[in-house]
Structures are given as structure tokens and as C-alpha cells.
Amino acid sequence: MNKIAMFTMGTRGDVQPYIYLSRGLVKAGYDVTLASHPCWRNLIESYGIHFEPVGPDINIEEEAAVIRGKSPNAMISMVRCMNFIMKIIQGSSGEVYKLSEGKDLIVVTHSKMGAVEAGVLGIPTVDVTLQTEMIPEKNKPVKFTDKLMGNMIGKQINKPYDKIRRQYGLKPMKTGDEIRSDKFNLIPVSKFVLERSPYWESNNIITGYWYEEEKDHIPDERLLNFINAGDAPAVLALGAMSFEDEADRAKLDMFVKAFQKTGTRAVIQGFRKTLADYELPDTMIACGSVPHSWLFRHGKFVIHHCGFGTSASSLIYGIPSIPVPHVLDQLSFAMQLEKLDVATKHIDAKDLSESVLTAAIEEMNSSYAVKKQNAVSISEKIKTENGVDEAVRLIGQVLEEKYLYN
């Protein structure tokens, strides 16, 4: 049985795509290890996947919330979060190396975790990219000055991985190609959402989204009764962005008052600390962890932070969006939704206010029929792609090639 390992760090949105890929690989008969922060053990094992802990035993979403709370804008917040994660990745290299030993393939996740270690061990890799802005457009004609600037940026991006390389006596990289797979780079996005760049090399493959329907979910009776008691509610799902360093009543008040002003019923995820002593109106309900595959189907529209996973889910399950990006990479996903006309104009998190939210909900209501129709149309197309199956097929090709030439 072929042994595959993958390593990922970050919030649940950084873990979930690899859970779905792992499930697909296990069903295809592969022995899969998915390693991440110790705090994700229960989540990963609940899907029947072999889990291994790497890095310190911390609550990563709480740590990220503290960093965000001390950051004045989206760019600084993202950079600080990335630096924090990269330090953990560098410190975890020894564990990653040991877990990689004896494996037949390493799936290198979007953080490039495991790439250096796989190279040292001579194990073939397949890459995954979530943010397509990170894919080199090697076939694009560039001016000398642009190439010079690109090389300077590349050196900065490579620095954290060069620190890992030094642990194994390797020289700094000349280009990022030294830790990129020479097989495939898998992009778990729909071709109906993302247009393939004509300047990408042929090994960059859009597979379709990685997801599962999770049909076995049994909703909380109180939540089900609320949903069935009236019009479809809005869903407030800010993901890790609603994980609070400390209670933030003022922020939740903005949403509650905007919902009240527009006569909107709502289901609210997150805000755990604030909701501990917060009395919601009868037209709103708080819920904990509920799969988007169930919740989004029962909502009218969703207000979300535009993380990779939530943005994907809004399209997979055909629900329009009010995007509220908090950090820079979320802005690109927000603009993608706007371009598809399944979302209102995004709201920068720093601009959140009761009046801005009220205006966004009113914009959604006035254009809802078109946005809903567009979202449903894209959802139907996405479901023809079978993204996990395509990724599993391509990974299988790499393993077959390994044994063909060994």
C-alpha cells in the first residue's frame, strides 16, 4: 500500500481541504497521514484519517486572534500571521522529516510544508496552491526591470525555507523551483470560477473544488426549528475572524442592529466569548460548528470573511455573499465573488459599521434574484467536476510513474 503524507499549519480553513483530499486518497486505497497542530487532532480523526501532531500544542485560532487584534491593517495582520506560522513550520522540520521517512509521496500543501524535507529524503512531491497569485507565470514575456523586481520578491519569499534548508546543510535557493514539485501543482478551485492563466506551465492543473456533502449531519433541533419557523435566514460566518481574543460586544452589536434594521432573521456562528452573556433577539440564533454543506443550503445569503474554504462553500452550495475580508488574501477571494456577480461589493473589515452593514444587506435584497440565480448556476456546474477524484487520479499517476522507473 502506497504511503502518503501531508503537513499543514493554520486555522481550520487551512486544514479542511486536505481532510477532503485525504478522505479521497484513503477511499482509493492509499495509506494517508495528515499532520498539523495538535489542536486539530479531534477534527481530523473524526473523518477517519490518521493524524500526527507537529508543532507546539497551542490553540492556533486563539493565537491568530491575538495577532489580528494588535494589527492596525489587513496587510500588517497577514504578514504577522504568516511570520508566526512560518516560525512554527521552521521549528517543526525535525518532526516533519521523521514523519516523511518511508513515505512514497509527500503532498506539499500551500504553505510548502514538507517540500524541503521531501527533497532531502528523495521523495517525490505533488504541490497544492490555494492562492493562484503565487503561481509563477513563467511563459509570460517580462521586462528586465519586472524580472529584477520578481527576483527580489522571490528571495524574500524563499528566506523561511532557506532557514529550513540550512538545517540539512543545503545552500540557499537560487529560485523557488528548488522546492516546487516537478510533477503536478494542484489547484483545488473550479474552472467555472477561475480562468486558467495562459502563462502557467502545463503542470499547474485546476482540479475543481475539494469538498464533501456531509449528508450524515444531524442538525441541532433548536437550530432546525428556528430555520423552519420563518423566511430563510442570513448566515453570519466569519470563521476564524470571529474567534475573539476577548469579548467584542461592539462588533457583534453592529451585525445585530443591522439585521434588526433590515428585518433580517439570522444564524450567527462564532463570537463565542461575546455571546456568553449576550441576549440575542428572537429573530436570531447562535450556532456552533455546523457544516457549511448543511447550513449554507438553508440560508438566504452569507456574510463571511472570504477565507478560501468559506468562499468555496458559498459557490459550491449556491448562496450569495456579503464579503467582509479581514486580511489581504481574503480580499482577492472577495473580488472573485464580486466578478462572478454572486456578491455585493465587499466591505473592508476596518470599515465595518451598522450603517455600512445595513446598506450592504439592502443592496443584497435589491439584487437578490440575480445573485441567487448566478450562485445556483455556478453551483450546478461545480458539481460536475469531482475535484477530489481528479486530484486522486493525478496523484495516482505520480505514484505509478515512481514504480515504473524504479
Would you give per-residue pLDDT tens digits along the chain (406 residues)?
A: 899 999 998 888 889 999 999 999 999 999 999 999 999 999 999 999 999 999 988 877 777 666 665 555 656 666 677 777 888 888 899 999 999 999 999 999 998 999 999 999 999 999 999 989 889 888 778 765 555 555 555 566 677 888 999 999 999 988 888 899 999 999 999 999 999 999 999 999 999 999 988 767 788 899 999 999 999 999 999 876 655 656 678 889 999 999 999 999 999 998 888 888 899 999 999 998 888 989 999 999 999 999 899 999 999 999 999 999 887 678 899 999 999 999 999 999 889 999 999 999 999 999 999 999 999 999 999 999 999 999 999 999 999 886 655 5
Q: What angle do CA 302, 304, 308 make, to 5 degrees?
A: 115
pLDDT at position 211: 94
- Looking at the structure, do residues 158 and 293 belong to the same domain, yes or no? no
- Looking at the structure, do residues 294 and 338 belong to the same domain, yes or no? yes
Report yes or no on 215 lying in a domain: no
Number of domains in the chain: 2
- Looking at the structure, do residues 319 and 267 belong to the same domain, yes or no? yes
Report yes or no on 12 lying in a domain: yes
327, 305, 252, 246: which is closest to 62 by C-alpha?
Answer: 246
pLDDT at position 56: 87
Burial category of 276 from C-beta neighbours within 10 Å (exposed 0-12, middle 13-18, buried 19 and up): exposed
Q: What is the DSSP letter of 132?
A: G
Helix, strand, or coil (residue 341): coil
Decide: 306 and 313 in contact? Cβ < 8 Å.
no
Report yes or no on 7 lying in a domain: yes
- Looking at the structure, do residues 295 and 329 belong to the same domain, yes or no? yes
Report yes or no on 216 lying in a domain: no
pLDDT at position 273: 83
- Looking at the structure, do residues 141 and 284 belong to the same domain, yes or no? no
Cα Dmax for the chain: 67
Report yes or no on 200 lying in a domain: yes
176, 217, 182, 211: which is closest to 308 by C-alpha?
Answer: 211
- Looking at the structure, do residues 392 and 280 belong to the same domain, yes or no? no
pLDDT at position 198: 94
Residue 265 phi, psi dihedral angles, 5° rounding: -75, 150
Find the CATH number of the domain harbouring 156. 3.40.50.2000
- Looking at the structure, do residues 166 and 230 belong to the same domain, yes or no? no
Distance CA 297, CA 341 (A): 19
Report yes or no on 214 lying in a domain: no
- Looking at the structure, do residues 202 and 230 belong to the same domain, yes or no? no
- Looking at the structure, do residues 26 and 96 belong to the same domain, yes or no? yes
Report yes or no on 333 lying in a domain: yes
170, 280, 173, 290: which is closest to 224 by C-alpha?
Answer: 290
- Looking at the structure, do residues 177 and 259 belong to the same domain, yes or no? no
- Domain coverage including residue 14: 3-209+385-405
- Looking at the structure, do residues 245 and 184 belong to the same domain, yes or no? no
Distance CA 384, CA 56 (A): 40
38-39-44-50 Cα dihedral, nearest 10 degrees? 20
Q: What angle do CA 151, 152, 157 make, to 5 degrees?
A: 90
- Looking at the structure, do residues 131 and 238 belong to the same domain, yes or no? no
